A and B are shown apart, each in its own frame.
Chain A
Amino acid sequence: MTISLLYALVGVVLLGIGLYSLIIYSHLVKKILALNVAGSGVFLFLVATANQTSGPVPDPVPHAMVLTGIVVAVSATALALALACRIHQVTGTARLTENEPE
């Protein structure tokens, strides 16, 4: 097993951990963190893919994809955290209520 394959598999495992935590936890900040972990797993997979070229030079396109992905993830996390803070300010709790009472 090459080193790139190991990193790729670790990325997949991180994705799994993130998804599991996203489902399990009900606190909003934990959910957001879980999404970040899962995203890091995907980025790790991409970087591992870039390393699989036959020569010494890695493929720059996945690196650019990861850079873009990180920026997008940061933006999304910031918006999510701002919303979570606002929800806490307005409702007093940092968890989503389960069912909307209609």
Chain B
Amino acid sequence: MTLPAWIVSLPLLAAVFTFVFPRIRIWAGIFTAIITPLMVVFLGREILAHGAIQMQVGGWQTPLGIQLYADGLSVAMLGITAIVIGCITFYARCYFTGDVSSRYFWPLWMFLWSALNALFLSGDIFNLYVTLELLGLSAVALVALSQTADALSAAMRYLLVSLTGSLSYLMGVALLYAANGTLSIKLLATTGAASPSIATAFALMAAGLIMKSALFPMHFWLPPAHANAPAPVSAVLSALVVKASFYILMRLWLVIFEPFINPSTAQLMGVLGAGAIIWGSVQALVAERLKLLVAYSTVAQIGYLFLIFPLSSITQSNHTAWQGGFYFVLSHACAKSAVFLAAGSVIYSFGHDRIKELHGIVRRMPVSMFAFALASVSLIGLPPSGGFIAKWLYLNAALTGGHWWWCVLIIIGSLLATAYVFRFFSRAFSYSPEVVEERPVPWIMEWTALGLALCALILGFIAPAVTTLLDAGNPF
């Protein structure tokens, strides 16, 4: 079974080729955008049929070598990555029009994709560090692509936070190796040393990964970075890059750390998640620019992800909580990227995204606004959408344990989301007498946004299939 290696190598090859031969960059990018999702589909079918797949790189058994590990959860993440990046690739084809930024966008974009793929397939904690750095550097370079002063400052801030997070994570890796003598996640799971090094290593790794996932109060770098990056970059940052470090945190928690960590840590993460939901939503309510509103919405939605921790500590609803959390990851990826793409189309057409001045754009850009509306359905958590399924699983988990306060929080979060979404829509639907100069938007840009929004909705209909996939290989 060589598919995992191809899934990592193909975007890497594309990255090198698009850099060395700039003339073929668009074709190489589109080729990768079509072939990689196909490979992920085949991998998914293989895992559903035979369970988790392990691949020893170099033929060396762990602990000597590195293991690539693919179970249902990895494939779900790979799949959502492929769908989102694939769609955004077509959007970016029209967005970056043949100038300097286009020349460097494609190799950076392929590096980002290969970093994500390598990350979701890795089964070795040091290998995860290298993939995290690959991911962080490509994300920062992509943010800095728009070359405005705000974008450069945001990119610098993002880079500093990212490097600090990676360093903290690396120190955790070093501690784990010093204590256990192995870097393989599977082997670390079986060494049960409950020495203080486990708790410290977890604290270090968690702190680093939380910084990279922008959990409140470490979220300060996210709004400027996501708001000032080019629209396709903002989409992939909010949808996938912040989820990657969260995915690592989940894996390590599930496989290695959970038995050894004080349960109050889980509650603490839940409290921070609650803070993120409230603070992010409030800031989104007062944001003046559309992309800033959406960026703060990301801050809020990341808070929901961290509710997995307290909800999963309720033993009867352990499984449901995990499924809910990752359903959130999947549907938010689709919905948020759709929203950012729609916002990008607005900027492309009107040259700005100041909400006060966006009167009546529904009439001018119906497809993008429809995409925005559909995606908002998922963000708010209304049926039938992926976001609804996720919140419903969460509510189920919370009520099984009698923890009604999380239910209250989730409902408040939904209400706040409705508020900030409608704040934008009331403008968009209002009557506008003036004639505003606009650029016609290429149809691909509007329809990819719509496609991603539809994915978020479809996730609401195929819940049993998705949960079966998530469970393949027993990650939880």
Interface presence of B261 (CB below 8 A): no
Complex Cα distance A91/B288, Å?
23
Interface segment, B91-99, B164-172, B267-275, B434-442?
B164-172
Complex Cα distance A83/B136, Å?
14
Partner-A contacts on B (CB < 8 A): 126, 129-130, 133, 136-137, 140-141, 144, 149-150, 152-157, 159-160, 163-164, 167, 170-171, 174, 177-178, 183, 223-224, 287-289, 292
Interface presence of A61 (CB below 8 A): yes
Are the CB atoms of A35 and B163 closer together than 8 Å? yes
| Distance to closest chain A CB from B286 (angstroms) | 9
Partner-B contacts on A (CB < 8 A): 8, 15, 19, 22, 28, 31-32, 35, 38-39, 42, 45-46, 49, 52, 61-62, 65, 68-69, 72, 75-76, 79-80, 83-84, 86-87, 90-91, 96-97, 100, 102
Are the CB atoms of B149 and A90 closer together than 8 Å? yes
Instruction: Identify B144's interface contact among A75, A76, A83, CB under 8 A.
Output: A83
Residues of chain A lying within 8 A (CB to CB) of residue B223: 100
Instruction: Identify A97's interface contact among B141, B153, B163, CB under 8 A.
Output: B153
Are the CB atoms of A100 and B150 closer together than 8 Å? yes
Complex Cα distance A61/B62, Å?
13
Residues of chain A lying within 8 A (CB to CB) of residue B288: 102
Residues of chain A lying within 8 A (CB to CB) of residue B141: 79
Are the CB atoms of B170 and A35 closer together than 8 Å? no
Are the CB atoms of B153 and A69 closer together than 8 Å? no
Chain B residue nearest to A64 in the complex (CB) = B126
Are the CB atoms of A83 and B159 closer together than 8 Å? yes
Residue of A35, A46, A84, A102 with most chain B CB atoms under a 10 A cut-off: A102
Instruction: Identify B152's interface contact among A46, A49, A90, A100, CB under 8 A.
Output: A90
Extra contacts besides A22-B160, A35-B164, A102-B287 (7): CB < 8 Å: A35-B167, A68-B126, A75-B133, A87-B149, A90-B149, A100-B150, A100-B223
Complex Cα distance A72/B133, Å?
7
Complex Cα distance A97/B126, Å?
34
Assess A69 versus B164: contact at CB under 8 Å? Given A84-B156, A87-B153, A100-B150. no
Are the CB atoms of A42 and B171 closer together than 8 Å? yes
Are the CB atoms of A72 and B130 closer together than 8 Å? yes
Residues of chain A lying within 8 A (CB to CB) of residue B140: 79, 83
Complex Cα distance A69/B133, Å?
10
Chain B residue nearest to A76 in the complex (CB) = B163
Assess A96 versus B157: contact at CB under 8 Å? Given A42-B171, A90-B152. yes
Complex Cα distance A61/B288, Å?
51
| Distance to closest chain A CB from B128 (angstroms) | 12
Are the CB atoms of B159 and A100 closer together than 8 Å? no
| Distance to closest chain B CB from A10 (angstroms) | 14
